[in-house]
Amino acid sequence: MASVKLKYLSLGVLVFQTTSLVLTMRYSRTLQGEGPRYLASSAVVVAEFLKILTCVGLVFKDHSYSGRALSSILRQEILHKPIETLKLAIPSGIYTLQNNLLYVALSNLDAATYQVTYQLKIITTALFSVFMLGRRLGVFQWLSLLILMAGIALVQWPADSQSDPQKEQLTAGSQFVGLVAVLVACCSSGFAGVYFEKILKETKQSVWVRNIQLGMFGLVFGIFGMLAYDGDRVQEHGMFQGYNTLTWIVVALQALGGLVIAAVIKYADNILKGFATSLSIILSTLISYFWLEDFEPTSVFFLGTVLVIMATFLYGYESKPAPNPSRA
Protein backbone atom coordinates (compact mmCIF):
# COMPACT_ATOMS: atom_id res chain seq x y z
CA MET A 1 0.00 0.00 0.00
CA ALA A 2 2.84 2.39 0.87
CA SER A 3 4.53 1.53 -2.44
CA VAL A 4 1.37 2.41 -4.38
CA LYS A 5 1.09 5.74 -2.53
CA LEU A 6 4.73 6.55 -3.34
CA LYS A 7 4.11 5.77 -7.00
CA TYR A 8 1.16 8.15 -7.21
CA LEU A 9 3.07 10.77 -5.22
CA SER A 10 5.90 10.40 -7.74
CA LEU A 11 3.41 10.87 -10.58
CA GLY A 12 2.05 14.05 -8.98
CA VAL A 13 5.51 15.50 -8.33
CA LEU A 14 6.73 14.73 -11.87
CA VAL A 15 3.64 16.28 -13.49
CA PHE A 16 3.79 19.35 -11.24
CA GLN A 17 7.50 19.96 -11.83
CA THR A 18 7.51 19.51 -15.60
CA THR A 19 4.31 21.51 -16.14
CA SER A 20 4.85 24.35 -13.67
CA LEU A 21 8.43 25.08 -14.80
CA VAL A 22 7.44 25.40 -18.45
CA LEU A 23 4.34 27.50 -17.79
CA THR A 24 5.89 29.86 -15.24
CA MET A 25 8.99 30.32 -17.40
CA ARG A 26 6.86 31.09 -20.46
CA TYR A 27 4.65 33.50 -18.51
CA SER A 28 7.64 35.27 -16.94
CA ARG A 29 9.30 35.75 -20.34
CA THR A 30 6.18 37.20 -22.00
CA LEU A 31 4.75 39.23 -19.11
CA GLN A 32 4.77 42.94 -19.82
CA GLY A 33 5.85 44.94 -16.77
CA GLU A 34 7.57 48.15 -15.78
CA GLY A 35 11.35 48.35 -15.92
CA PRO A 36 13.80 45.89 -17.47
CA ARG A 37 12.96 42.19 -17.74
CA TYR A 38 15.07 39.79 -15.69
CA LEU A 39 18.13 38.32 -17.40
CA ALA A 40 17.89 34.64 -18.33
CA SER A 41 21.66 34.29 -17.87
CA SER A 42 21.34 35.64 -14.32
CA ALA A 43 18.51 33.22 -13.52
CA VAL A 44 20.68 30.29 -14.66
CA VAL A 45 23.51 31.39 -12.34
CA VAL A 46 21.21 31.79 -9.32
CA ALA A 47 19.59 28.39 -10.04
CA GLU A 48 23.02 26.71 -10.05
CA PHE A 49 23.89 28.37 -6.73
CA LEU A 50 20.62 27.19 -5.16
CA LYS A 51 21.23 23.67 -6.49
CA ILE A 52 24.68 23.56 -4.86
CA LEU A 53 23.27 24.74 -1.52
CA THR A 54 20.49 22.14 -1.67
CA CYS A 55 22.88 19.28 -2.50
CA VAL A 56 25.28 20.33 0.27
CA GLY A 57 22.31 20.21 2.66
CA LEU A 58 21.35 16.72 1.45
CA VAL A 59 24.93 15.41 1.86
CA PHE A 60 24.97 16.99 5.33
CA LYS A 61 21.74 15.13 6.17
CA ASP A 62 23.05 11.82 4.77
CA HIS A 63 26.05 12.05 7.14
CA SER A 64 23.95 12.53 10.29
CA TYR A 65 24.27 16.34 10.25
CA SER A 66 28.01 16.12 10.98
CA GLY A 67 29.96 19.16 9.77
CA ARG A 68 33.23 17.24 10.05
CA ALA A 69 31.90 14.37 7.91
CA LEU A 70 30.56 16.85 5.33
CA SER A 71 33.91 18.65 5.12
CA SER A 72 35.75 15.33 4.82
CA ILE A 73 33.58 13.95 2.02
CA LEU A 74 33.74 17.18 0.01
CA ARG A 75 37.54 17.38 0.33
CA GLN A 76 37.96 13.72 -0.51
CA GLU A 77 35.66 13.70 -3.54
CA ILE A 78 36.32 17.17 -4.98
CA LEU A 79 39.80 18.39 -3.98
CA HIS A 80 41.61 15.04 -3.72
CA LYS A 81 40.20 13.68 -7.00
CA PRO A 82 40.77 16.52 -9.47
CA ILE A 83 40.65 14.29 -12.58
CA GLU A 84 37.31 12.79 -11.56
CA THR A 85 35.99 16.26 -10.80
CA LEU A 86 37.19 17.68 -14.13
CA LYS A 87 35.30 14.96 -16.01
CA LEU A 88 32.09 16.68 -14.94
CA ALA A 89 33.11 19.97 -16.58
CA ILE A 90 31.89 18.65 -19.95
CA PRO A 91 28.28 17.79 -19.00
CA SER A 92 28.14 20.83 -16.73
CA GLY A 93 29.03 23.22 -19.55
CA ILE A 94 26.45 21.54 -21.80
CA TYR A 95 23.75 21.70 -19.11
CA THR A 96 24.48 25.42 -18.63
CA LEU A 97 24.06 25.99 -22.36
CA GLN A 98 20.84 23.93 -22.30
CA ASN A 99 19.37 25.92 -19.40
CA ASN A 100 20.00 29.19 -21.25
CA LEU A 101 18.48 27.76 -24.42
CA LEU A 102 15.27 26.82 -22.58
CA TYR A 103 14.71 30.49 -21.76
CA VAL A 104 15.29 31.38 -25.43
CA ALA A 105 12.87 28.65 -26.54
CA LEU A 106 10.09 29.67 -24.16
CA SER A 107 10.52 33.34 -25.09
CA ASN A 108 9.64 32.39 -28.68
CA LEU A 109 7.38 29.32 -28.46
CA ASP A 110 4.12 28.75 -26.62
CA ALA A 111 4.27 26.24 -23.75
CA ALA A 112 2.27 23.54 -25.57
CA THR A 113 4.45 23.51 -28.69
CA TYR A 114 7.59 23.59 -26.56
CA GLN A 115 6.45 20.67 -24.38
CA VAL A 116 5.71 18.43 -27.34
CA THR A 117 8.81 19.38 -29.36
CA TYR A 118 11.11 18.94 -26.36
CA GLN A 119 10.23 15.23 -26.34
CA LEU A 120 12.81 14.96 -29.14
CA LYS A 121 15.27 14.49 -26.26
CA ILE A 122 14.00 10.88 -26.13
CA ILE A 123 15.51 10.35 -29.60
CA THR A 124 18.82 12.03 -28.83
CA THR A 125 19.14 10.24 -25.48
CA ALA A 126 18.38 6.89 -27.12
CA LEU A 127 20.94 7.40 -29.89
CA PHE A 128 23.68 8.58 -27.50
CA SER A 129 22.90 5.59 -25.25
CA VAL A 130 23.45 3.24 -28.20
CA PHE A 131 26.77 4.82 -29.19
CA MET A 132 28.20 5.69 -25.75
CA LEU A 133 26.84 2.96 -23.47
CA GLY A 134 26.47 0.13 -25.98
CA ARG A 135 22.77 -0.13 -25.19
CA ARG A 136 20.53 -2.21 -27.43
CA LEU A 137 17.11 -0.87 -28.39
CA GLY A 138 14.21 -3.23 -29.03
CA VAL A 139 11.82 -3.17 -31.99
CA PHE A 140 9.17 -1.24 -30.01
CA GLN A 141 11.70 1.43 -29.07
CA TRP A 142 12.91 1.98 -32.64
CA LEU A 143 9.28 2.11 -33.78
CA SER A 144 8.47 4.64 -31.07
CA LEU A 145 11.33 6.90 -32.26
CA LEU A 146 9.90 6.93 -35.79
CA ILE A 147 6.41 7.72 -34.47
CA LEU A 148 7.91 10.46 -32.26
CA MET A 149 9.63 12.12 -35.22
CA ALA A 150 6.39 12.02 -37.24
CA GLY A 151 4.41 13.50 -34.33
CA ILE A 152 6.83 16.39 -33.77
CA ALA A 153 6.92 17.12 -37.52
CA LEU A 154 3.11 17.48 -37.43
CA VAL A 155 3.25 19.72 -34.34
CA GLN A 156 5.66 22.05 -36.19
CA TRP A 157 3.52 22.01 -39.35
CA PRO A 158 2.67 25.63 -40.27
CA ALA A 159 -0.99 26.53 -39.74
CA ASP A 160 -3.06 28.44 -42.30
CA SER A 161 -3.51 32.02 -41.14
CA GLN A 162 -5.39 35.05 -42.41
CA SER A 163 -3.48 37.53 -40.21
CA ASP A 164 -1.33 40.48 -41.26
CA PRO A 165 1.58 39.17 -43.47
CA GLN A 166 4.17 41.35 -41.71
CA LYS A 167 3.07 40.11 -38.27
CA GLU A 168 2.90 36.55 -39.60
CA GLN A 169 6.50 36.83 -40.90
CA LEU A 170 7.67 38.14 -37.51
CA THR A 171 5.90 35.26 -35.73
CA ALA A 172 7.43 32.71 -38.10
CA GLY A 173 10.91 34.13 -37.45
CA SER A 174 10.34 34.01 -33.70
CA GLN A 175 9.10 30.41 -33.90
CA PHE A 176 12.14 29.43 -35.95
CA VAL A 177 14.47 30.83 -33.26
CA GLY A 178 12.50 28.93 -30.60
CA LEU A 179 12.59 25.71 -32.62
CA VAL A 180 16.35 25.91 -33.16
CA ALA A 181 16.84 26.54 -29.43
CA VAL A 182 14.74 23.45 -28.58
CA LEU A 183 16.58 21.26 -31.09
CA VAL A 184 20.01 22.26 -29.75
CA ALA A 185 18.73 21.82 -26.17
CA CYS A 186 17.49 18.30 -27.04
CA CYS A 187 20.88 17.32 -28.48
CA SER A 188 22.74 18.76 -25.51
CA SER A 189 20.31 17.13 -23.07
CA GLY A 190 20.78 13.72 -24.68
CA PHE A 191 24.56 13.86 -24.71
CA ALA A 192 25.00 15.37 -21.23
CA GLY A 193 22.46 12.99 -19.68
CA VAL A 194 24.12 9.87 -21.10
CA TYR A 195 27.62 11.17 -20.26
CA PHE A 196 26.54 11.84 -16.67
CA GLU A 197 24.94 8.38 -16.45
CA LYS A 198 28.23 6.85 -17.66
CA ILE A 199 30.16 8.68 -14.92
CA LEU A 200 27.64 7.60 -12.25
CA LYS A 201 27.96 3.96 -13.34
CA GLU A 202 31.76 4.10 -13.21
CA THR A 203 31.86 5.48 -9.65
CA LYS A 204 30.06 4.68 -6.41
CA GLN A 205 29.77 8.23 -5.12
CA SER A 206 26.48 9.80 -4.05
CA VAL A 207 24.45 11.46 -6.80
CA TRP A 208 24.22 14.54 -4.56
CA VAL A 209 28.03 14.91 -4.47
CA ARG A 210 28.13 14.56 -8.24
CA ASN A 211 25.47 17.29 -8.51
CA ILE A 212 27.61 19.56 -6.32
CA GLN A 213 30.49 19.05 -8.74
CA LEU A 214 28.19 19.74 -11.68
CA GLY A 215 26.84 22.84 -9.96
CA MET A 216 30.32 24.23 -9.25
CA PHE A 217 31.30 24.11 -12.91
CA GLY A 218 27.82 25.26 -13.91
CA LEU A 219 28.17 28.30 -11.65
CA VAL A 220 31.52 29.24 -13.23
CA PHE A 221 30.28 28.71 -16.79
CA GLY A 222 27.07 30.56 -16.00
CA ILE A 223 28.90 33.60 -14.61
CA PHE A 224 31.20 33.74 -17.65
CA GLY A 225 28.18 33.48 -19.95
CA MET A 226 26.30 36.18 -18.07
CA LEU A 227 29.25 38.60 -18.19
CA ALA A 228 29.96 37.86 -21.85
CA TYR A 229 26.37 38.15 -23.07
CA ASP A 230 24.76 40.54 -20.56
CA GLY A 231 27.79 42.24 -19.00
CA ASP A 232 26.73 45.78 -19.97
CA ARG A 233 23.20 45.33 -18.60
CA VAL A 234 24.52 43.79 -15.38
CA GLN A 235 26.81 46.81 -14.89
CA GLU A 236 23.96 49.22 -15.61
CA HIS A 237 21.08 47.70 -13.61
CA GLY A 238 22.66 44.91 -11.54
CA MET A 239 22.45 41.13 -11.69
CA PHE A 240 18.99 40.98 -10.09
CA GLN A 241 17.28 43.53 -12.34
CA GLY A 242 13.65 42.72 -13.07
CA TYR A 243 13.41 40.03 -10.38
CA ASN A 244 10.02 39.55 -8.77
CA THR A 245 8.16 36.76 -7.00
CA LEU A 246 7.45 34.95 -10.28
CA THR A 247 11.13 35.09 -11.25
CA TRP A 248 12.17 33.50 -7.96
CA ILE A 249 9.58 30.75 -8.45
CA VAL A 250 11.04 30.01 -11.91
CA VAL A 251 14.58 29.95 -10.49
CA ALA A 252 13.57 27.65 -7.62
CA LEU A 253 11.73 25.26 -9.96
CA GLN A 254 14.72 25.10 -12.28
CA ALA A 255 17.16 24.55 -9.42
CA LEU A 256 15.15 21.97 -7.50
CA GLY A 257 13.30 20.29 -10.38
CA GLY A 258 16.08 17.94 -11.45
CA LEU A 259 16.84 17.05 -7.84
CA VAL A 260 13.19 16.28 -7.10
CA ILE A 261 13.00 14.03 -10.17
CA ALA A 262 16.23 12.27 -9.13
CA ALA A 263 14.75 11.66 -5.69
CA VAL A 264 11.42 10.20 -6.87
CA ILE A 265 12.42 8.47 -10.10
CA LYS A 266 13.26 5.23 -8.30
CA TYR A 267 9.57 4.88 -7.41
CA ALA A 268 8.36 5.59 -10.96
CA ASP A 269 8.44 2.89 -13.63
CA ASN A 270 8.44 3.63 -17.38
CA ILE A 271 4.64 3.52 -17.64
CA LEU A 272 4.33 6.04 -14.83
CA LYS A 273 6.89 8.33 -16.48
CA GLY A 274 4.85 8.05 -19.69
CA PHE A 275 1.72 9.10 -17.80
CA ALA A 276 3.59 12.06 -16.27
CA THR A 277 4.83 13.25 -19.67
CA SER A 278 1.39 12.86 -21.24
CA LEU A 279 -0.43 14.68 -18.44
CA SER A 280 2.16 17.46 -18.53
CA ILE A 281 1.65 17.95 -22.28
CA ILE A 282 -2.14 17.98 -21.90
CA LEU A 283 -2.05 20.43 -18.97
CA SER A 284 0.40 22.73 -20.78
CA THR A 285 -1.86 22.74 -23.85
CA LEU A 286 -5.01 23.53 -21.85
CA ILE A 287 -3.37 26.26 -19.73
CA SER A 288 -1.68 27.82 -22.79
CA TYR A 289 -5.06 28.03 -24.52
CA PHE A 290 -7.33 29.10 -21.64
CA TRP A 291 -4.99 31.08 -19.36
CA LEU A 292 -1.94 32.34 -21.27
CA GLU A 293 -4.03 32.71 -24.46
CA ASP A 294 -0.92 32.44 -26.64
CA PHE A 295 -1.84 29.19 -28.38
CA GLU A 296 -4.45 28.31 -31.01
CA PRO A 297 -4.66 24.51 -31.39
CA THR A 298 -5.24 22.91 -34.80
CA SER A 299 -6.30 19.41 -35.81
CA VAL A 300 -2.76 18.78 -37.12
CA PHE A 301 -1.29 19.79 -33.75
CA PHE A 302 -3.65 17.44 -31.91
CA LEU A 303 -2.74 14.55 -34.24
CA GLY A 304 0.97 15.22 -33.69
CA THR A 305 0.47 15.40 -29.92
CA VAL A 306 -1.37 12.07 -29.88
CA LEU A 307 1.52 10.47 -31.81
CA VAL A 308 4.09 11.93 -29.39
CA ILE A 309 2.18 10.67 -26.35
CA MET A 310 1.77 7.24 -27.98
CA ALA A 311 5.50 7.13 -28.78
CA THR A 312 6.36 8.03 -25.17
CA PHE A 313 4.39 5.05 -23.87
CA LEU A 314 5.72 2.74 -26.57
CA TYR A 315 9.34 3.67 -25.80
CA GLY A 316 8.80 2.73 -22.15
CA TYR A 317 7.23 -0.62 -23.07
CA GLU A 318 9.43 -3.32 -21.57
CA SER A 319 9.66 -6.26 -23.90
CA LYS A 320 12.20 -9.04 -23.50
CA PRO A 321 15.62 -7.38 -23.83
CA ALA A 322 17.78 -8.43 -26.76
CA PRO A 323 21.07 -10.11 -25.83
CA ASN A 324 23.99 -7.69 -25.76
CA PRO A 325 27.25 -9.26 -26.96
CA SER A 326 29.32 -6.35 -25.63
CA ARG A 327 28.12 -7.08 -22.09
CA ALA A 328 28.41 -10.87 -22.27
* pLDDT tens-place string over residues 70-99: 899 889 888 888 888 898 899 999 999 999
Question: pLDDT category, 166, cuts 50, 70, 90?
Answer: very low
Any domain includes 215: yes
Question: pLDDT category, 3, cuts 50, 70, 90?
Answer: low
The rounded mean pLDDT for the chain is 82
Instruction: Specify the higher pLDDT residue, 78 or 206.
Output: 78
The mean pLDDT value for 200-225 works out to 87
Any domain includes 179: yes
3 state DSSP class of 31? coil
Which residue segment(s) compose the domain that 269 sits in? 1-316
Provide the pLDDT for residue 285.
Answer: 83
pTM: 0.81
Query: How far is residue 261's CA from residue 153's CA, in Å, rounded to a whole number?
Result: 28
pLDDT at position 260 over 90 = no
Q: Taken in order 135, 136, 140, 141, is the CA torsion positive or negative?
A: positive
Question: pLDDT category, 5, cuts 50, 70, 90?
Answer: confident
Any domain includes 322: no
pLDDT at position 302 over 60 = yes
pLDDT at position 137 over 90 = no
The pLDDT tens digits for 214-253 are 899 999 999 999 999 999 999 998 999 999 999 999 999 9
Instruction: Specify the higher pLDDT residue, 169 or 275.
Output: 275
Query: How far is residue 20's CA from residue 15's CA, in Å, rounded to a whole number?
Result: 8
pLDDT at position 328 over 50 = no
Query: How far is residue 221's CA from residue 90's CA, in Å, rounded to a whole number?
Result: 11
Provide the pLDDT for residue 275.
Answer: 66
Least confident of 46-55, 154-163, 276-285: 154-163
Any domain includes 327: no
Query: How far is residue 110's CA from residue 252's CA, in Å, rounded to a whole number?
Result: 21
pLDDT at position 34 over 60 = yes
pLDDT at position 110 over 60 = yes
Helix, strand, coil percentages (3-state) for the chain, rounded to 5, are: 80, 0, 20
Any domain includes 323: no
Any domain includes 297: yes
How many structural domains compose the chain?
Answer: 1
Any domain includes 214: yes
pLDDT at position 268 over 90 = no
Query: How far is residue 5's CA from residue 131's CA, in Å, rounded to a whole number?
Result: 37
Any domain includes 95: yes
Provide the pLDDT for residue 300.
Answer: 86
Indicate the burial class of 320 (C-beta count within 10 angstroms; 0-12, 13-18, 19 or more): exposed
Provide the pLDDT for residue 40.
Answer: 92
The mean pLDDT value for 42-56 works out to 93
